[in-house]
Chain A
Amino acid sequence: MSFTTVDYGTMVMLLILVVASLAMYFIKDLLHAVIVYGAYTLIMALVWLQMNTPDIAITEAAAGIAMTVLMMVAIYRTSRREE
């Protein structure tokens, strides 16, 4: 079983995904969690592209931005930010 450089890149991206998911759970400040979610969705779009599904990559990028914007709006509308 041998890995190419592409596989190492994918492994690094998947590791970032795991770390970002755990960070989103443990971070208390909701705005920081949304920022981490933005990074998560960017890396996820790259992973989809790496798996030869540009269709899902475009959808992930667009939907990720949209959900980030909507969650930012929701945080902006609620007075207390700390969970």
Chain B
Amino acid sequence: MRDFVLKRVAALLLPFIQMYGLYVIFHGHVSPGGSFAGGIVVGLAFIAFATIYGLERGRAKVPEKATTLVESYGTLWYGLMGMIGIFKGAPFLANKLAGIDLGELGALSSGGLISLIGLGVGIRVASTMVALFFTMMEDES
């Protein structure tokens, strides 16, 4: 793959695509989108990098160990965020009941823990997409 224009355009666009994906993840409670859609956008940025720059360089960016760890610990992160409520003496996944300052309406902090929970789900979805892509593309050995 020696396409100069494609590589330069991808190098310009991919950081913004990833930033947009993270924006969609973190603003899931105040704007359209959510952790699932944002996670897929982040994962597609990695997939686009791997298809344009070659599988080896893509694999160097996201090793198999990284996708495995992120997939597991993203779910664990969700559970830990839910346990905050229990530690504070409130139900599981409690937000305002756990004494978290929610700030003003419409701000990013108005969701309390939802942005952090969404981060766990989002990186998990992204790593699942990347793992699916690499599992299909790489040779069985």
Q: Chain A interface (Cβ within 8 Å of chain B)?
A: 54-55, 57-59, 61-63, 65-66, 69-70, 73-74, 77
Contacts and interface: CB of A to CB of B under 8 A. Distances in A.
B24 interface: yes
Interface string B33-52: 11011001101100100000
Given A55-B32, A66-B47, A66-B129, 20 more contacts: A55-B33, A55-B37, A58-B24, A58-B33, A59-B34, A59-B36, A61-B37, A62-B44, A63-B36, A63-B37, A63-B40, A66-B43, A66-B44, A69-B44, A69-B47, A70-B133, A73-B133, A73-B136, A77-B136, A77-B137
B32 A54 contact: yes
Nearest to B134: A73
22 contacts: A55-B33, A57-B32, A58-B32, A58-B37, A59-B33, A59-B34, A59-B37, A61-B37, A62-B37, A62-B41, A63-B40, A65-B40, A65-B44, A66-B40, A66-B44, A66-B47, A69-B44, A69-B47, A70-B136, A73-B133, A73-B137, A77-B137
B132 interface: yes
A63 B41 CA distance: 9
